[in-house]
Amino acid sequence: MKIIYSYGSKFGVSGLATTVYHEVRALQQHALLQRLLCGFCGDTDFPREHIRALGLPDRVLRKLAAYDRSERLLHVQNVVYDAWASRQIEPADLFIAWSTWGLHSLRQAARLGMRTAIVRGSTDPRHYAAVLAEEYARWGQHFHTPPVRMRRKVAELDAADYVFTISAAARSTYARYGIPDAKLVTLPGRGADTRVLRPADRRRSGAFRALYVGVVSFGKGIAYLLEAWRQLRWPDAELHLVGGIDRDFRPLLARYQGLAGLHLSGHLPDPLSSYQHADIFVFPSLDEGAAKVTYEAMACGLPVITTAAAISEVRDGVEGFVVPVRDADALAQRLDQLRADDRLRRAMGQAARARAEAFTWEAYGRRFVDIVTTLAPHVPQCS
């Protein structure tokens, strides 16, 4: 079995590309990878003979798209990369492409007689857009996603033989929008580098510190975390938000600028120190695939407060707490409980580390290969 894997962005070992790296690394180690196609290649030890990159045109388009709120340039980047990738496809057994970068290349692979799969790292795009539209409306804003981008994502789901989803919960959202169950393949969560991501060598002292890592946005439920923190009125505790701030969220964030203990750190390429200097991790997302940061936090021995919508490996009452989405009161209650109970906090942190050790990137790669190789015998017959 030979596989071509297409990811229309920077390939490396940071952010979302970390998952891509470990998937293609596992394919390469099992002699399954024929070619990796990508937008451009960052610093990596991955064998270059397996990589074909679009290069400078992709870097330029992505840089320009970062300043375009309409997302028109992002759509152009998607189409340009996809057109390029479709010309790079050689005969193989399976073609895997990430969502928004695969419509034409999926069709080209199918014309060459290959099985095809589209990777979605989250819920069905229509479900995700509905969640965000509801959340924006709650705060008096309008959420807009260009119709052309949504049509493209849906067309990819129709074109592919398989749709890779990230969990049973995410899988159910595709079924609700009519994607046949025979097309849906559930991938094995995420992973963490437990050799690097470890608890601090010594117990920290100082103010109680809660940590969030990720984009500071409506979709991540940060509005409810900020409200929970305001309710607690702690004069001697810290809430650290590590990540870039979404432009749409800035007006709401401005209401909390004077909130006691609030620290905005911006994006950090390596958040290890942030994890090791925190007491707990909070991730109140409204809709998610399987956030890598929850695995990282557990690997660093942090109890995690999250939501069922975040689709993590946190078990309520074991490695932390799972609270309802959009529930500032529940967040405040669990924050207060973990701050007050040092013994519980330590026990949950130890359980979190033990849980993370079952979800290393090596284990993730093995599970990924096991699933992909089951696709070899047949193409699903979908009505």
203 in a domain, yes or no?
no
In total, how many domains does the chain have?
Answer: 2
- Give the SS3 label for residue 338: helix
Query: What's the average model confidence in pLDDT over 96-121?
Result: 96
| Domain membership flag for residue 63 | yes
Higher pLDDT: 151 or 271? It is 151
- Burial class of residue 243 (count of CB atoms within 10 Å of its CB; 0-12, 13-18, 19+): buried
Whether residue 133 is found in the same domain as residue 79: yes
- When pLDDT is averaged across residues 204-213 and rounded to a whole number, the result is 90
Q: Which domain, by its residues, includes 42? A: 3-191+361-373
Closest of 228, 298, 296 to residue 268, by C-alpha = 296
Domain shared by 42 and 168, yes or no: yes
The reply to whether 378 falls in a domain is no
Number of neighbouring beta carbons within 10 Å of residue 202: 7
Give yes or no: residues 166 and 46 share one domain: yes
Residues 166 and 40 in one domain: yes
In a domain? residue 350: yes
CATH code where residue 35 lies? 3.40.50.2000
Average of per-residue pLDDT values in the chain: 92
Average pLDDT over residues 315-326: 96
Rounded to an integer, what distance in angstroms lies between the CA atom of residue 130 and that of residue 125? 9
Spell out the SS3 assignment of 138-195: HCCCCCCCCHHHHHHHHHHHHHCCEEEECCHHHHHHHHHCCCCHHHEEECCCCCECCC
Q: Quick one: 148 and 212 in the same domain?
A: no
Task: Tell me the HSE value of 330 on the side-chain side, using a 13 A CA sphere.
Answer: 15
- Same domain as 332, residue 285: yes
Sign of the torsion angle spanned by Cα atoms 74, 189, 187, 222: negative
The H-assigned helical ranges of 304-381 are 328-340, 342-356, 361-373
Query: Are residues 248 and 221 part of one domain?
Result: yes
Among the ranges given (24-28, 143-147, 274-278, 348-352), the one the predictor scored with the smallest mean pLDDT? 143-147
Residue 224 sits in the same domain as residue 257:
yes
Q: How far is the CA of 237 from the CAs of 256, 299, 327, in angstroms? A: 15, 23, 21
The answer on 283 and 325 residing in a single domain is yes
User: Higher-confidence residue: 72 or 378?
Assistant: 72
197 found inside a domain: no
Of 29-33, 45-49, 124-128, 287-291, the least confident? 287-291
Long-range contact pairs involving 348-352 (C-beta distance under 8 Å, separation at least 24): 348/303, 348/318, 348/319, 348/320, 349/199, 349/301, 349/302, 349/303, 350/301, 351/318, 351/319, 352/297, 352/298, 352/299, 352/301, 352/302, 352/303, 352/304, 352/314, 352/319, 352/320
Contact 75, 149 (CB under 8 A): yes
Q: What mean pLDDT do residues 306-317 have?
A: 91
Determine the Cα–Cα distance for residues 334 and 150; give it in Å rounded to an integer: 37
Min mean pLDDT across 27-31, 65-69, 150-154, 161-165 is at 65-69
pLDDT at 376: 60
Residue of 325, 317, 255, 341 lying closest to 283 (CA atoms): 325
Residue 169: per-residue pLDDT: 85
Q: Per the domain annotation, does 196 fall within a domain?
A: no
Helix (H, G, I), strand (E, B) or coil at 11: strand
For residue 106, give the H/E element and its range.
helix 103-111
42: phi then psi, degrees, rounded to nearest 5: -90, -165
Among 79-93, 163-177, 343-357, name the one with the lowest average pLDDT.
163-177
Question: Do 47 and 181 reside in the same domain of the chain?
Answer: yes
User: Based on the domain organization, do 138 and 254 belong to the same domain?
Assistant: no
382 pLDDT exceeds 70? no
